[in-house]
Amino acid sequence: MCGIIAYNGQDDAIPYLLEGIRNLEYRGYDSFGCAIDSPVGIIIKKDIGRVDDVINKYKIQNFSSNKAIFHTRWATHGGVKTENAHPMIDCMHRIAVAHNGIIENWAELKESLGTHKFISDTDTEVLSHLIEEKLSRGSDIQSAVKDTFNQIKGSSSFIVLDKQSEDLIAVKKGSPLVLGIAKNGNFLSSDVPSFVRHTNKVVYLSDGDMVVLGKRGYTITNLMNRDVNHDVSTVNLSAKHAEKGDYEHFMIKEIMEQLAQMKSLESADFGNVTRAAELVKNAKLVYLIGAGTSYHTALLGAKVLRENGIKSAAVQGQDLITYRNVISEDDVFIVISQSGETADIINAMPLISKNKKIGIINSEGSTLTKDVDIFIPIDAGPEKAVASTKSFTLSSVYVTLIAMFAAGKKEEALRDLKLLNINMYNLLVPSVLSAIDKAAEKIKGLEDVFFLGRDSDYIMALEGALKLKEVSYIHAEAIDAATFKHGPLALISDKTYAVALVSESTRNDTLYNLQEVKARGGNIIGVSDKNENVFDMFIRAQNGGAFGFVTQSIILQLLAYKTSILKGINPDRPKNLAKAVTTK
């Protein structure tokens, strides 16, 4: 995925866009580029590297213009090279295009543009040349963009700067694009936090929308003939939500935010949870769909539903196709996604177009929010660190609430939320923090770490292993403690470390399995409410009630974060990863 932000108006665009693109860097950090409108034509500056490095290299802060587009790239099509950084221009240097998405039919389109000179390996470059081709045949810029949009396949949102036009033209399909309406001009961006310091008035664009962004106003038409809502919404988000504040990294800020977020759930209005629970109660089967971390939420939700007598299955988005012959119209789907943009999930949606869908989604206005019947905004606020933390715990709390409400256990759920907050209060005490530090100190030098647990402890083990892999580059593998004896035990030696999750309901069986690890010389870092003889190191997690997984999860997030820091890695920007995965 990539990040785009553009401004057109009376003010100088450059300071706005510099701030905005730094904010969007979580969406991609391979290369940066910009197109700046100027009296002598379009100025293009682009290069590989982190946003700030490229900005400083080309002294972008010294430019001034009322109209510009900035882009930060995460390479999908074409390697990390300066030529592949956006924006792309046409042969005559009349237009510049910044794009987020994938053009599936780029090869045939490129072939049809035989005489045009391509300089990059990207799919994006066909856009600038296609538009140029249409302009050369007499189209005006709006028709040229519209016809280009109709020719491309895949999910693509892009913004066009034409040196002969006062306007910026943008279209949205698949990848996110929002319009921000400020006092002296307007923004187009991949997300709201990137411009929220200047306005909280937004229009969440829909697929097919084409925006003509003038200096003073804008028009929106839908090129897919959809009847969509273009009302202006006021977002309840302040600039501080999108900034690190006093924290060194977004990841630790977002981990710590969970304490207040869990507390605020105690007074939340669960109207949409109640409506979702009604749907779920009457479903033939409930499918929970997610990817990566959100799939772990799906696993947890499916387990809690089954325990409450509701038939359910967790499925990774890309795997839903294998269920196509068994899905019935009476099945209900719970779609879980932080970004609301994950391609593996979006691509599965046509398979369930006739089914009722509940969305547990963090990003308001995102593609998936428009595809569900009941949208449960988890209100985690912007999640900027690449590794998902607060969205995981909040969405996991929401699936658990839906299951418990559907089973008539609303009071028990609300009581357990209170218990969770008592446990949260005792969670990050100095003894626990220093135990996490010691464990991270041990783990930082390892090449492999196992994460073990049974039941929901196993699901948290899966999530803990994923977090450690992402931000510390250590091979971490979660294995059900009961399954360990079916093969993986062969790997154990006195050099092996396993992080073991133990809670009240799993204690006896898991401890039995851990003895088997211990007997073969393995070392165990226990995450549990009680210290056990089998543990070599111990991190206390108060984990009672239906939401006990939250405290376990926060400990594992901190363990991954601290290990990352000790290894000198920036946990907010792990190599090779992007925040939302919009590729197949």
What positions carry a catalytic annotation?
2, 579
> For residue 293, which of 457, 462, 458 has the smallest C-alpha distance?
462
DSSP letters, 234-297, are EP---GGGGS-TT-S-HHHHHHHHHHHHHHHHTT---HHHHHHHHHHHT-S-EEEEE-HHHHHH
366 belongs to the binding site for ligand F6R (CB under 6 A)? no
For the CB of residue 23, give the shortest distance to ligand F6R in the complex, in Å. 18
User: Nearer to ligand F6R by C-beta: 8 or 557?
Assistant: 557
**Total number of residues that touch ligand F6R (CB under 6 A):** 15
513 belongs to the binding site for ligand F6R (CB under 6 A)? no
User: Nearer to ligand F6R by C-beta: 178 or 387?
Assistant: 387
User: Nearer to ligand F6R by C-beta: 206 or 294?
Assistant: 294
Among 8, 31, 337, 582, binds ligand F6R (CB under 6 A): 337
| Calpha distance 293→577 (Å, rounded) | 14
388 belongs to the binding site for ligand F6R (CB under 6 A)? yes
Among 76, 128, 338, 396, binds ligand F6R (CB under 6 A): 338
Using the contact rule CB under 6 A, the part of the chain among 49-57, 217-225, 332-340, 451-459 near ligand F6R is: 332-340
| Calpha distance 179→303 (Å, rounded) | 40
Tell which phi-psi region holds residue 78, choosing left (phi > 0), alpha (psi between -120 and 50) or beta. Answer: left
| Calpha distance 174→100 (Å, rounded) | 9
Among 122, 175, 342, 456, binds ligand F6R (CB under 6 A): 342
> For residue 360, which of 418, 420, 300, 433 has the smallest C-alpha distance?
300
Binding mask of the shown chain, residues 448 to 487, with x at each position contacting ligand F6R by CB under 6 A: ------------------x---x-----------------
For the CB of residue 567, give the shortest distance to ligand F6R in the complex, in Å. 17
Separation in Å, CA 48 to CA 28, 70, 80, 84, 351 = 11, 14, 7, 9, 39
- How many CA within 13 A on the CB side of residue 537? 22
List of residues 6+ apart from 560 with CB closer than 8 A = 387, 464, 467, 468, 470, 471, 472, 571
Q: Which pair of structure tokens corresponds to residue 132?
A: 């140029």
Using the contact rule CB under 6 A, the part of the chain among 6-14, 65-73, 335-343, 453-461 near ligand F6R is: 335-343
DSSP letters, 357-397, are EEEEESSTT-GGGGG-SEEEE-------SSS--HHHHHHHH
For the CB of residue 18, give the shortest distance to ligand F6R in the complex, in Å. 26
331 belongs to the binding site for ligand F6R (CB under 6 A)? no
Q: Which pair of structure tokens corresponds to residue 100?
A: 């987020």
Using the contact rule CB under 6 A, the part of the chain among 164-172, 275-283, 289-297, 350-358 near ligand F6R is: 289-297
For the CB of residue 436, give the shortest distance to ligand F6R in the complex, in Å. 18
| Calpha distance 574→524 (Å, rounded) | 27
Within 526-545, the residues that bind ligand F6R by CB under 6 A are none
Q: Which pair of structure tokens corresponds to residue 366?
A: 């995102």
The tokens 């924006």 sit on which residue?
87
Among 194, 293, 523, 582, binds ligand F6R (CB under 6 A): 293
For the CB of residue 557, give the shortest distance to ligand F6R in the complex, in Å. 9
| Calpha distance 468→480 (Å, rounded) | 17
291 belongs to the binding site for ligand F6R (CB under 6 A)? yes
How far is CA 38 from its chain centroid? Answer: 35
For the CB of residue 398, give the shortest distance to ligand F6R in the complex, in Å. 13
For the CB of residue 326, give the shortest distance to ligand F6R in the complex, in Å. 24
Within 564-583, the residues that bind ligand F6R by CB under 6 A are 580-581
Binding site for ligand F6R (CB under 6 A): 291-294, 337-339, 342, 345, 387-388, 466, 470, 580-581
